[in-house]
Structure 1
Amino acid sequence: MKEVVGLAFRADVGVDLGTATTLVYVKGKGIVLQEPSVIALDQYTNKFLAVGEDARKMLGRTPGNIVAIRPLKDGVISDYNITERMLKYFIQKSLGRMFLKPRVIICVPSGVTEVEKRAVIEASDEAGALKTYLIEEPIAAAIGAGVDITEPNGNMIVDIGGGTTDVAVISLGGIVVSRSIKVAGDECDEAIIKYIRKKYNMMIGERSSEDLKVSIGCAYPFEEEKYMEIKGRNLLTGLPMNVEVSSTDMLEALREPVTEIVEAVHEVLERTPPELAADISNRGILMTGGGALLKGLDKLLNEKTGISANLAKNPIESVAIGTGKSLESIEFLEKSMTQGDQSRYR
């Protein structure tokens, strides 16, 4: 992560405001910040104690008066005030001192409601934006992955984030068919926690679950079995315990959320116009987002759809890069964006 300090007159900013991670792209500089979307605050004084990675380390480890909060759930704002403060902190950390307020583009899942869009715009405006625009995640992901979305060709994007999976077919700069489901990285973590509890009578936390997913998690069987030892609390005795978990365990644990993602891809393909479907068959499916890194997911999609699935060059940063690049062509993309009102300041 790069920290930007100093003095500037104005900078345009692209924000990938994710359920799990927030990335900030500054025009002319690229991605300057990548932090977990977590805030730790004192319940008694309402004071921020930590933001980002420092706050993430506190999840599940805080005393009674301190809470570590993830203010976004399933890709949308669940705690408006905390989101506003977090966004303000990230923008200020990325830009340093500014004479003029920045113009901001924030990406949102393709299935958000008008009310949810308005909440994001207002949070951004209150955080210090001059104007706020919204861009849908599949379009940002495609731009960030190097796809020319202005051509009359069909491109299928599967963007798997922390809270949502967006499946979309894009042509001529717009979304033709799409579906957004609230099954992604977080659901996979929860599925692992439930599986470990059921099979081993052991409770593990979110961080341990994510470690398992990253290390030995899979959507398709490995050629060679993998193992990882984890620690947790025995539900019968209440004492700490260790167990060795296999990649086969992970395959079983993740079966349900992975199946839902594959079904969403199926549904979008069924609704895709024939000419665009032919393009997708030739070009393949492009996978972006941190969840797309789940091992074997590309093989599973290929097996279930008969279409090759390819991982973007930089799947985690694709949406943020695309959001930032769209700053250079707002006029063309404006038809697929929602523009915020001129900011109101107290």
Structure 2
Amino acid sequence: MAIFSGLLDAFSSEFGIDLGTANTLVYVQGQGVVLNEPSIISVGYRDGKPHTLAVGKDAKQMIGRTPDSIRAIRPMRNGVIADFEMAGMMLEHFIRRVHRNRSFISPRIAVCIPSGATQVERRAIRESAESTGARDVVLIEEPMAAALGADMPIMESNASMVVDIGGGTTEVGIISLGGLATTRSVQLGGDKLDQALITYVRNNFQLQLGEQSAENLKKDIGSVCLPEDGTDGQTCTVRGMDLTTGLPREIEVSERHMYEAYSETVDQIAETVRDALRHTSPELAADLVNQGVLLTGGGALLKGIDKVIRDTTGLPVAVHDEPLFCVAYGTGKLLGNRLLLRQLAQIGSS
């Protein structure tokens, strides 16, 4: 049996998957991140049964533009599966793209999960991954995956702290001796920021923005701090539907507007980080005075987010060089670390 198991390891593929609310990334051993696509699937219906029309970037272009016969669906919400059937179809499509012609043995997969996921939510993610034909599925909590992917010294006794700001959740983890000593998971991330901006523009400009327009503004001039020179900062033109006339209209949105729209959500994220610190041990908290906090995830790219968390905690704060890929890197590295794999395998079954 041991020989057969060794042969399986030799001929099978190993994938690490960051199954995110906004994007799904797939890491392949020896190649790095080979897929980075929006977590969106578009389906049509034939005899009452859904069939896939587009997945990822192609499906994202359909949001808000589909006829009644087609649905563009985000199967992930707040870091967990909201639509099991659609999540399975989307994940199967991504794995088939990556796994095509790689081997004749089903892959082993590591998938990240929010640290606050319930047992039902963990089981749903596991079953969705298993439905793609994977022969083995390992779950890893997102703060641990982010820290592992960022090459933080997670096996040392000195504490490390990571804050992963994703599309659906913000995950906070204080790690020591290969385990999560303190975690916090809050359903605040890029999606909530987009919704906050849509609400702000609707209330202040009487203009209805689409989700894609809000996301584009976030990427172009998103800021969580007021411009230091006292001006309104950079501006960007955005188009939407006038709520009074129902006609298309465009406005200028500034960095100051972005700050005002985001401030409440960002304050809640910062308070989550502070809450984690308040509930960790004095010894680990002392370590963090020197070690500081590492920011990962797409939200780490927001202008000024490091300053907000630094001002809230009083700790040094750094943004990883590749914040978007840390969780994916971590899931892949987990599969290459048999000791850590055994240590964390209980996450999916406990």
Note whether the superposition's TM-score is higher than 0.5: yes
1:188 is matched with which residue?
193
Distance, in Å, in 2 between the alignment partners of 1:280 and 1:179 is 16
Question: For structure 1, which segment, 152-161 or 223-232, has the greater mean C-alpha deviation from structure 2 after superposition?
Answer: 223-232
List, as ranges, runs of 4+ consecutive aligned residues in structure 1 with deviation greater than 3 Å.
Answer: 337-341
1:76 is matched with which residue?
80
1:242 is matched with which residue?
250
Confirm whether residue 85 of structure 1 aligns to residue 89 of structure 2.
yes
Tell me the percent identity: 47
Confirm whether residue 109 of structure 1 aligns to residue 114 of structure 2.
yes
For residue 337 of structure 1, give the secondary structure of its aligned residue in structure 2. helix
Distance, in Å, in 2 between the alignment partners of 1:258 and 1:252 is 10
Distance, in Å, in 2 between the alignment partners of 1:338 and 1:17 is 19
Cα contact 1:110–1:136 (8 A) shared by 2 = yes
Distance, in Å, in 2 between the alignment partners of 1:177 and 1:324 is 23
2:65 is matched with which residue?
61
Cα contact 1:132–1:339 (8 A) shared by 2 = no
For residue 67 of structure 1, give the secondary structure of its aligned residue in structure 2. strand
Q: Give the AA of the match of 1:300.
A: V
> 1:148 Cα shift?
1.8
> 1:338 Cα shift?
4.0
How has the CA–CA distance of structure 1 residues 175 and 165 changed in structure 2, closer, same or farther, with 3 Å as cutoff? same
Q: TM-score, normalised by structure 2?
A: 0.93
2:5 is matched with which residue?
none
How has the CA–CA distance of structure 1 residues 338 and 58 changed in structure 2, closer, same or farther, with 3 Å as cutoff? farther
Q: Give the counterpart of 2:53 among 34, 38, 49.
A: 49
Confirm whether residue 35 of structure 1 aligns to residue 37 of structure 2.
yes
Q: Give the counterpart of 1:302 among 302, 307, 310.
A: 310
Distance, in Å, in 2 between the alignment partners of 1:43 and 1:259 is 43
Cα contact 1:173–1:333 (8 A) shared by 2 = no
Distance, in Å, in 2 between the alignment partners of 1:286 and 1:323 is 18
Q: Give the counterpart of 1:323 among 327, 331, 344.
A: 331
> 1:331 Cα shift?
3.0
Q: Where in structure 1 are there 5+ consecutive unaligned residues? A: 1-7, 342-346
1:232 is matched with which residue?
240
Q: TM-score, normalised by structure 1?
A: 0.94
Confirm whether residue 124 of structure 1 aligns to residue 129 of structure 2.
yes
For residue 272 of structure 1, give the secondary structure of its aligned residue in structure 2. coil
Distance, in Å, in 2 between the alignment partners of 1:74 and 1:338 is 23
Distance, in Å, in 2 between the alignment partners of 1:212 and 1:100 is 44
For residue 251 of structure 2, give the secondary structure of its aligned residue in structure 1. strand
For residue 155 of structure 2, give the secondary structure of its aligned residue in structure 1. coil
Q: Give the AA of the match of 2:21.
A: T
Confirm whether residue 251 of structure 1 aligns to residue 259 of structure 2.
yes
Distance, in Å, in 2 between the alignment partners of 1:16 and 1:160 is 13
For residue 254 of structure 1, give the secondary structure of its aligned residue in structure 2. helix
Distance, in Å, in 2 between the alignment partners of 1:338 and 1:313 is 31
Q: Give the AA of the match of 1:11.
A: S
> 1:300 Cα shift?
1.0
Corresponding residue pairs, total: 334
How has the CA–CA distance of structure 1 residues 340 and 173 changed in structure 2, closer, same or farther, with 3 Å as cutoff? closer
2:15 is matched with which residue?
13
Q: Where in structure 2 are there 5+ consecutive unaligned residues? A: 1-9
